[in-house]
């Protein structure tokens, strides 16, 4: 087994696989209203190619956990089969999704061996949800969440991004809603990964602001356990057992503990969300590279991982690919 190690002592074991860059929402912090120029089909990995690369990651490179994401992974037709074949490799599988269509697929995904699911939900007010995502689909998300729970896909995690002037007044309301239903909520600081380059350091809602907004209505106490490579700072809410997470990706980066590696829908290895270089496994694979050769390329790609994302450096440059094409 070759570990996916870098020069700073980190070893990647958590593989994020983007299954498509397409999406049925248009969250304003992620993509423009008109969408993007989607990857052409011939550049997108086939189901067999995805499974082959995931298998190399697991069998040769020490990957222990595989999370499928996108774009929106539920729009990928082969998702259930890909999950089943990944589960059969004996690793934990999970999904990050906006939950549109989850109502139809939750049981099939559970039966295929999916272990966990994270759902993105930024508001439980219909108008605000519509404004943030540019689609009036809150009811579908809620139905998807309920279907996931009924299928045994718990504990369900919710991810929320707060945007100034849009939903930044709704953090306590979202937390109360999640606690009432037994969902674990985490707030994520908005990062400079939107396709339209609209992020601004001055405008983003910081982890400290999120903490202050929640503290106005709940008593938050540190959850005790050290966070390890998990990005969320966890707090007990009103003495527990409910908790809330705050992910301070920008203001308190956790790059030193990062154990992630990413594979894009077109077969590029990225050693960081913010990497400016990629390693093209698709072209090598289609040119006939063996599993061993692909594994070697992957190891080299990881060895060059930088110590941190550098968002706070004056010289920071946003990656060319937006979040939806990298896989969040």
Residues that bind ligand SF4 (CB under 6 A): 23, 25-27, 30-31, 70-72, 98, 120, 324
- What's the 3-state SS for 158-190? EEEECCCCCCCCCHHHHHHHHHHHCCEEEEECC
Q: Of 119 and 302, which CB lies nearer to ligand SAM in the complex structure?
A: 119
For 31, the token pair is 């993509």
Report in angstroms how near the CB of residue 113 gets to ligand SF4 at its nearest.
23
CB of 292 to ligand SAM, least distance (A): 32
Q: How far is the CB of 168 from ligand SF4 (least distance, A)?
A: 17
Residue 141 beta carbon to ligand SAM: minimum distance, rounded to whole angstroms: 10
Q: What's the min distance (Å) between Cβ of 22 and ligand SF4?
A: 9
Residue 116, SS3?
Answer: strand
Strands of the 220-222 sheet, one edge to the other: 220-222, 233-237, 243-247, 184-188, 157-161, 116-120, 92-97, 65-69, 14-18, 260-263, 268-270, 279-280
Left if phi > 0, otherwise alpha if psi is -120 to 50, otherwise beta: which for 183?
A: beta
Beta strands in the chain (DSSP E): 4-5, 11-12, 14-18, 65-69, 92-97, 116-120, 157-161, 184-188, 220-222, 233-237, 243-247, 260-263, 268-270, 279-280
Which option in ligand SAM, ligand SF4, none does residue 69 bind, with CB closer than 5 to 8 A by kind? ligand SAM
Return the residue matching tokens 């209505």. 217
Please state, as a whole number, how many other Cβ atoms lie within 10 Å of the Cβ of residue 243.
Answer: 17
Residue 194 binds what, of ligand SAM, ligand SF4, none (CB under 5 to 8 Å, by partner type)? ligand SAM
Residue nearest to ligand SAM (CB): 328
**Can you say whether the dihedral through the CA atoms of 213, 218, 144, 92 is positive or negative?**
positive
Give the nearer residue to ligand SAM in terms of CB position, either 117 or 281.
117
Smallest distance from ligand SF4 to CB 171, Å: 18
CA distance 223 to 186: 13
- Residues contributing to the site for ligand SAM (CB under 6 A): 23, 29-30, 69-70, 72, 96-98, 120, 159, 161, 188, 190-191, 193-194, 323-324, 328
94 binding partner (options ligand SAM, ligand SF4, none; Cβ < 5 to 8 Å by kind): none
Least spacing, CB of residue 232 vs ligand SAM, in Å: 12
Q: What is the rounded CA–CA span in Å between residue 161 and residue 27? A: 10
Closest CA to 53 of 295, 303, 296, 287: 295
Report the C-alpha gap between 13 and 322 in whole angstroms: 23
Which partner from the list ligand SF4, ligand SAM, none does 31 bind, CB cut-off 5 to 8 Å by kind?
ligand SF4
**Nearer residue to ligand SAM within complex by CB, 4 or 325:** 325
Nearer to ligand SAM, 57 or 322 (CB): 322
Minimum CB separation from ligand SF4 for residue 295, in Å? 29
**How many H helices and E strands in the chain?**
10, 14
Q: Which does 227 bind (CB under 5 to 8 A by kind): ligand SF4, ligand SAM, none?
A: none
Total residues belonging to the chain: 328
Pick what 191 binds: ligand SF4, ligand SAM, none; C-beta below 5 to 8 Å, kind-dependent: ligand SAM
CA–CA gap between residue 164 and residue 147 (Å, rounded): 31
Residue 26 touches which of ligand SAM, ligand SF4, none (CB < 5 to 8 A by kind)?
Answer: ligand SF4
Closer CB to ligand SAM, 94 or 279, in the complex:
94
Nearer to ligand SF4, 52 or 135 (CB): 135
Of 209 and 296, nearer to ligand SAM (C-beta) is 209
């Amino acid at each position: 087994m070759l570990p996916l190690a870098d020069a700073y002592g980190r070893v990647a074991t958590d593989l994020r696989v983007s299954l498509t860059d397409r999406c049925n929402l248009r969250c304003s912090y992620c993509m423009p209203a008109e969408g993007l120029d989607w990857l052409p089909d011939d550049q997108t990995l086939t189901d067999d190619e995805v499974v082959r690369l995931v298998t190399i990651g697991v069998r040769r490179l020490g990957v222990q956990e595989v999370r499928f994401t996108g774009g929106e992974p539920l729009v990928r037709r082969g998702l259930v089969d890909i999950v089943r074949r990944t589960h059969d490799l004996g690793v934990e599988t999970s999904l990050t999704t906006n939950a549109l269509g989850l109502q139809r697929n939750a049981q099939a995904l559970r039966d295929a061996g999916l272990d966990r699911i994270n759902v993105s939900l930024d508001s439980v007010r219909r108008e605000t949800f519509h404004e943030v995502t540019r689609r009036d689909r809150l009811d579908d998300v809620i139905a998807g969440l309920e279907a996931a729970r009924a299928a045994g896909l718990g504990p369900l995690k919710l991810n929320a991004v707060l945007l100034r002037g849009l939903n930044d007044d709704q953090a306590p309301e979202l937390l109360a809603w999640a606690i009432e239903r037994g969902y674990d909520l985490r707030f994520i600081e908005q990062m400079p990964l939107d396709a339209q380059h609209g992020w601004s350091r001055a405008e983003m809602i910081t982890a400290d602001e999120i903490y202050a907004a929640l503290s106005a209505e709940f008593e938050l106490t540190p959850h005790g356990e050290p966070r390890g490579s998990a990005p969320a700072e966890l707090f007990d809410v009103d003495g527990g057992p409910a908790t809330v997470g705050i992910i301070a990706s920008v203001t308190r980066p956790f790059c030193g503990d990062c154990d992630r590696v990413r594979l894009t829908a077109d077969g590029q290895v990225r050693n960081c969300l913010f990497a400016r270089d990629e390693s093209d496994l698709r072209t090598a694979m289609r040119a006939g590279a063996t599993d061993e050769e692909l594994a070697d390329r992957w190891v080299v790609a990881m060895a060059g991982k930088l110590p941190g994302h550098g968002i706070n450096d004056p010289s920071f440059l946003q990656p060319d690919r937006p979040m939806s094409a990298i896989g969040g």
